[in-house]
Structure 1
Amino acid sequence: MPEGDTVHRAAHRLDAALAGRAVVRSDLRVPSFATVDFAGETIHSVGSRGKHLLMRIGDRVLHTHLKMEGEWRVLRAGQRWPRPAHRARAILETADATAVGFDLGLVEVFPAAEEADRLAYLGPDLLGPDWDAAEAARRLADAPEALAIVALADQRNLAGLGNVLVNEVCFLRGIRPDRPIGEVDLTPTIDLARRVIHANRDRLERTTTGDTRPGRRLWVYGRAGEPCRRCGTRIEHGRFGRNDVELRDTYWCPHCQR
């Protein structure tokens, strides 16, 4: 499931393959931007902000979001695509490589001068150079009644955490996910969230237990009905959200998270 660590790795891989190179062909397969042509323009850099991927090309930005199923792949000339062509939403070709964005949840283009304003609503980026723990705490404290699972996953508070890591952070801190964020000790919780996402920044397989073997990587996420790795109590599952259309799958140990 793409979260901030996944997007950070994707941006790093794309930047290594594309930065400083000229686009020889581009194809954006979304109606609103189908006529955009980057051919002849230089890809200055590829970076991430939380779950958002930003390709700075010429004087514009190609902004994409992976959502649940999206993926960017860097391919050699003539290399077979790993997904069907009809699932490609964005294609950038240089003389050396082809970058293909499959099943992207968002594709848009805007002037580079607007980047800061466009993403100003996001909270501090847990993996970014401008990380600000105090600002993250302030934003979380502004909605004390919000459930912990909801507040920690809200990109307006912290940019980068997704549902998997939020569930795991709640377990590691012993926080019931349906506890109001106003009752949570924010400073150590934010610090742990940052350490967990940094620990997974360069890993292909995300782990919060420290064990990278299949089936051993996570404490609670996706483990409903299975025994807690700490105490043996059965992991519970529920769905919580700000409203009925924003419910997220949630897992917790009723003994370890009180």
Structure 2
Amino acid sequence: MPEGDTVWQAARRLHSALAGKVLIRSDLRVPRLATADLTGRTVLEVIPRGKHLLTRVEGGLTLHSHLRMDGSWRVFANGQRWTGGPAHQIRAILGNAERTAVGYRLPVLELLRTTDEDRAVGHLGPDLLGPDWDPDLALANLLKDPDRPLGEALLDQRNLAGIGNVFKSELCYLLGVTPWLPVGHLPADRAAKLPELAKRLLEYNRDRPIRRTTGSPSTSSTPGTPRTPRTPRTTNRRVPDLFVYGRAPRPCLRCGTPVRIADQGDGSRERPTYWCPTCQRGPAPAPTAPRRDRPRTAD
């Protein structure tokens, strides 16, 4: 599930494969870009901005892409078989003499003037993994609408950029409040910790192939958590990677209460949200039946 850490990893792979090299293949398979040709241009850099990817190309152009739920960029050595989905799901191909980057199921793909990048990402709040990170501004953005549920406010990329559904659930758990708690009801001490805790979680995971919020299996510590989790009762088993996300109805790692699940939001998109009714204080809806969750993709 692409969130800020996953997109940061994708940008690093693309930058390593493409930056500083001349494109000898360019195929953008969306109708309005069907005639666009980037061959002969050098890729300058690939950078993440929240959940967005910006591939800057010689000549003042930027290829903007967004992965949303199912998109991915994969990098292959020339001559290597492409894997990532059927050919009809390919939306972009960028290749040089050594590597080829293939974009599958990209719901957003547009070619912009680099000077016009704000059209695509100018609305975003401070980036948790970016040079513009400003914890005070992020917190001020979150508190602008004190009646808004915390989980919804965290997902609003205009407040702070990079948090998705997994980190939303995990962050609320570590703060000890439900995702339905109004932002304005968040205790002051926990509100003050929120921006830095969110940043630590994403920084801890940006170099990891498997997302983890429960810390080292040997210590059960969590980077930046304001509370220390108990070691699971079955100590001869590996500590789960996540505290609550995807774990309903299994027991909470702290208290043993079954983790619950319910959708959050206006219903326009499926937002399965997980919480522990004992460890997290605040309002919550009736739980729904557990579902099979998609594994995290490393793309």
**What TM-score bracket applies, with the shorter chain setting the length?**
over 0.9
Q: Which runs of 5+ in 2 are unaligned?
A: 218-236, 282-299
Kindly provide the CA deviation profile for residues 111-149 of structure 1, in whole angstroms up to 9, marking residues without a partner as x. 011113431110000000111111111111111111111
Match of residue 53 from structure 1: 53
> Counterpart of 1:239 in structure 2: which amino acid?
D
* Equivalent of residue 135 in structure 1, options 134, 137, 144: 137
Q: CA deviation at 1:248?
A: 1.4
Give 1:204's aligned residue.
Answer: 209
Q: Which residue of 2 aligns with 1:30?
A: 30
Q: In structure 2, what is the equivalent of residue 81 of structure 1?
A: 82
User: CA shift at 1:247, angstroms?
Assistant: 4.9
Offset of residue 236 of structure 1: 1.1
CA contact (8 A) 2:214 2:239 kept: no
Which residue does the alignment assign to 1:160? Answer: 162
- List structure 1 segments (4+ residues) > 3 angstroms apart after TM superposition: 211-215
Displacement, 1:246? 4.0
What is the rounded CA distance, in whole Å, between the counterparts of 2:264 and 2:270 in structure 1?
Answer: 5
Distance 1:51 1:250 in 2: 19
Q: CA RMSD in A?
A: 1.4
CA distance in 2, matches of 1:24, 1:215: 47
- The AA in structure 1 aligned to 2:138 is A
Amino acid aligned to 2:247: R
Q: 1:92 touches 1:99 (CA, 8 Å); kept in 2?
A: yes
Secondary structure of 1:53's aligned partner: strand
Match of 1:250 in 2: 273
Q: Measure the CA separation in 2 of the matches of 1:235 and 1:32.
A: 46
Matched, 1:62 2:63: yes
For 1:14 and 1:214, the matched residues in 2 are separated by: 33
Tell me, in whole angstroms, the C-alpha distance in 1 between the residues paired with 2:145 and 2:196: 19
Query: 1: CA distance between counterparts of 2:196 and 2:108?
Result: 30
Q: Report the residue type matching 1:240 in the other structure.
A: Q
Which residue does 1:192 correspond to in 2?
197
TM-score (norm 1): 0.96
Whether the aligned pair in 2 keeps the contact of 1:23 and 1:38 (CA below 8 Å) is yes
Q: Distance in 2 between matches of 1:23 and 1:197?
A: 32
- Sort the Cα spacing of 1:211 and 1:104 in 2 relative to 1 into closer, same or farther, 3 A: farther
Work out whether residues 149 and 177 of structure 1, in 8 Å CA contact, stay in contact via their aligned partners in 2.
Answer: yes
Q: Which residue of 2 aligns with 1:104?
A: 106
2:278 partner letter: H
SS in 1 for 2:158: coil
The answer for unaligned runs of 5 or more in structure 1 is: none
Q: Residue 7 of structure 1: SS of its match in structure 2?
A: helix
* Contact map agreement 2:43 2:56 (CA 8 A) in 1: yes
Q: 1:191 to 1:210 in 2, by over 3 A?
A: same
- Write the distance in 2 (CA, Å) between the matches of 1:182 and 1:118: 30
- TM-fit CA distance, 1:46: 0.3
Q: Is the 8 A contact 2:52 2:121 kept in 1?
A: no
Distance 1:122 1:214 in 2: 37
**Distance in structure 1 (CA, Å) of the matches to 2:213 and 2:61:** 37
In 2, are the aligned partners of 1:211 and 1:217 still within 8 Å (CA)? Answer: no
Instruction: Please give the secondary structure, in 2, of the residue aligned with 1:229.
Output: coil
